Amino acid sequence: MATVELSNLQKNFGAYTALENLNLCIEDGEFLVLLGPSGCGKSTTMRLVAGLEEPTSGDILIGGQRVNDMAARDRDLAMVFQNYALYPHMTVGENIGYPLKIARIPKAERANKVAEAAGKVEMDHLLTRRPAELSGGQRQRVALARAIVRRPQLFLMDEPLSNLDAKLRTVMRAELKHLQKELATTTIYVTHDQVEAMTLADRIVILNDARIQQMGTPAEIYARPANTFVASFIGSPPMNLITGTLAEGMFRHTAGQVAVDGAAGPVTLGIRPENISVSDTGDLTGTVYSSELLGDSTLLNIRVGDGLVAAKVGPDEGRAMGAPVGLTLNRAKLHLFDAETGDRRA
């Protein structure tokens, strides 16, 4: 177990900046998720920590020790790859035991540790199989067992669930979270799936365009997104962003107006779908574009002015396509962003 500190970390590939001046501290035993779209720099950050890439500038400290010049094999960390990276010519047992073999752990002790790690991921009955003979979920478990077998001070996980089907992903997510808490090992987890980030993380770091957009607990980020990028990235469906003008304590839009405090000027109003109620009249008016029954709720997409606004209502509150409706916005749940920069207004 260890703390991880990234200080002014920068990575350029020629003229392309993959990571710009990143500063980040990860607590001992913390489960930190790096979240962002493709090309935002999250995998680069992980590869820098792993020692698979060299930083252009800045420092990487693991357990207080600067590791910039240390080879990957000397950093005492384990990594789970997106494609699992299991050695196809070795059995499950040999795959799990490979880090121990390199560390010259005696055969008998190695066998015990392999059995223990395999048992933790319920793979102890398949130790003689080869990776090609396993399902996606089983391969994922082997990769996890190989990571935990030597109890490293840091786990790195690069989108480890992205190749699994939706049902298995949900099961593995719970198992992963349980395992991490049980082992209490510092973990950096990379994903572009906001549901994975929300459910797994102690703290989320949202990256975009090689920079940190926001850092915080899942609840903090959900409740107070720092800008329109974060607001539109977190939540399923994401937050509605409605552009308009703020004047005399009123947010005005072609489809209506709503009372909001703040300085006058062009703004973007944010409201989550579950904070909108739909009736015949309301703050904004529009027509139903689509109505999707989700089981426990109905998702209404409503054309408001030129854009669409999503509202999550009760399962019995579905509407016919084209029906005129009024939208009432929960005043306590409104978010106000600068229309130009996209940054949150206080």
- In angstroms, what CA-CA distances link 330 with 116, 187, 195, 259? 52, 37, 24, 11
Pair 207, 190: CB distance under 8 Å: no
Using CB under 8 A, which of 16, 64, 69, 71 touches another protein?
A: 71
Q: 35 vs 147, which CB is nearer to another protein? A: 147
Residue choice 89, 107, 125, 151 for contact with another protein (CB under 8 A)? 89
Residue entry with tokens 């009736």: 279
**Site membership for another protein, residue 133 (CB under 8 A):** no
Peptide bond into 237 cis (omega under 30): yes
* Residues 160-199 close enough to bind another protein by CB under 8 A: none
By CB under 8 A, what part of segment 209-248 binds another protein? none
Question: Is 102 or 264 the residue whose CB approaches another protein more closely?
Answer: 102
C-beta of 52 vs 293, nearer to another protein: 52
**CB of 53 vs another protein, minimal distance in Å:** 10
- Min CB(99)–another protein separation in Å: 4
Alpha-carbon separation of residue 255 from 48, 280, 327, 334 (angstroms)? 49, 14, 10, 17
Which residue in the set 14, 64, 88, 106 belongs to the binding site for another protein (CB under 8 A)? 88
For another protein, the binding residues in 31-50 under the rule CB under 8 A are 50
Cα distances from 263 to residues 105, 250, 271, 306, in angstroms, run: 66, 10, 19, 25
What's the token pair of residue 298?
A: 């109905």
Residue 234 vs residues 28, 222, 293: alpha-carbon distances, Å: 26, 7, 22
Q: Which of 27, 28, 37, 73 binds another protein (CB under 8 A)?
A: 73
Closest distance of CB 133 from another protein, Å: 17
Q: How far apart (Å, rounded) are the C-alpha atoms in residues 339 and 277?
A: 25
Query: Interface mask (CB under 8 A) for another protein, residues 92-111, using x and -?
Result: ------xx--xx--------
Which one, 183 or 323, has the nearer CB to another protein? 183
The single residue among 8, 23, 65, 83 that binds another protein, judged by CB under 8 A, is 83
Min dist. Cβ of residue 198 to another protein (A): 27
Shortest Cβ 205–another protein spacing (Å): 22
Compute the least distance from the CB of residue 257 to another protein, in Å. 54
Residue among 208, 192, 205, 222 nearest 26 (CA): 205
User: Do 79 and 147 meet the contact criterion of CB atoms below 8 Å apart?
Assistant: yes
C-alpha pair distances (Å), 47 with each of 57, 111, 121, 162, 203: 14, 30, 25, 18, 19
Say if residues 10 and 179 touch (Cβ distance below 8 Å): no
Q: Residue 338 CB, nearest distance to another protein (Å)?
A: 42
| 96 in Cβ contact with 86 (< 8 Å) | no
Give residues in contact with another protein (CB under 8 A): 50-52, 71-73, 75, 77-79, 81-83, 85, 87-89, 98-99, 102-103, 146
